[in-house]
Amino acid sequence: MEMGKSDKKRIVLKIGSNVLTKGTNHISRGKIEDIGRQIVALQDDYEFVIVSSGAIAVAKQFVNLESNGAAINVKQALASIGQPHLMRIFQESFRDLGLLTSQCLLSYSDFEREQSKKNIVNTINVLVANNYIPIINENDTVATDEIQFGDNDKLAGLTASLLKADLLVIATNTNGICTKESVENNTYDTINEVDDIESLESEIASEISSHGTGGMKSKIEAARIAQKADIETWVVNGLKDDFMINVILNKIAFTKITKAVYNE
């Protein structure tokens, strides 16, 4: 059983709630199938680890919980209800395409302990070597960081760094990161390529997405984590069909946050 990385380029693909719901109140099976079809088309050259949001969005389709506690506890409960449904949709949609899936629930404390980090790397390497696609989400019932702010962006950055990915792709509902001025005047001009994350931060508007909790600030934080690990980050519009294939072919506008010119 092969334990290490293969010759394929490893992509950590983070899929936001807004992408999975296509901006509606329901998870889109069509979008999950679109992602699966692209993985099939790219699997000769790339191996994928998915970081997926969407558990809370799925749960809201099924239940309306009575709130007996803080709003964060209700969201944790919704995540607990939604996570198995989210995995089932991935499993069914991917299985129809001949793809195998596995679930990995991680917490921030897992990234702070050496033994946990080794376990994560070893487990995911075994899964990928055996053609299973790990689908990672935060263990929301015990952790609150990403629910409160982040929508799994930071988790994706940490995962890419830990797994020594070749590329972090963050799929969101805009054509990458747009200049502040263009957002204010509704022209939405994409910043195509940048290596200076500080300059990028000064360009972002402070909007938060409707289903997600991140907005652009947490995506830039994820890119900063990746850049420190010498990993490039692409922020792409995941609402479009074939978005990964098209960004790899450079057919659509997206933001490429390159490796730092001078790594600190």
pLDDT digits (tens, 9 = 90+) for 211-241: 444 578 889 999 999 999 999 999 999 999 9
Return the pLDDT at 1.
Answer: 41
- Over residues 17-62, the pLDDT tens digits come to 999 999 888 999 999 999 999 999 999 999 999 999 999 899 988 8
pTM above 0.95, yes or no: no
pLDDT at 264 over 50: no
More confident residue, 64 or 9: 9
Both tokens of 231, joined, read 């990993």
Q: Which range is least confidently modeled, 65-74, 82-91, 239-248?
A: 65-74
Residue 206 has pLDDT above 60, yes or no: no
Q: Mind giving me the DSSP string for 25-76?
A: SS--HHHHHHHHHHHHHHTTTEEEEEEE--HHHHHHHH------S-HHHHHH
How would residue 148 be classed by pLDDT, with cut points 50, 70 and 90? low
Give the residue-averaged pLDDT of 84-91: 97
Q: Is the pLDDT of residue 68 over 70?
A: no
Percentage of the chain modeled with pLDDT above 70: 88
- Which residue is it, tokens 């790990």? 134
Phi, psi for residue 11 in degrees, rounded to 5: -110, 125
- What's residue 200's pLDDT? 87
Higher pLDDT, 161 or 149: 161
End-to-end CA distance of the chain: 37
Instruction: Please report the pLDDT score of residue 204 as a whole number.
Output: 75
Q: Is the pLDDT of residue 128 over 70?
A: yes
Rounded CA-CA distance 121/130 in Å is: 14
Q: 76 near 144, Cβ under 8 Å?
A: yes
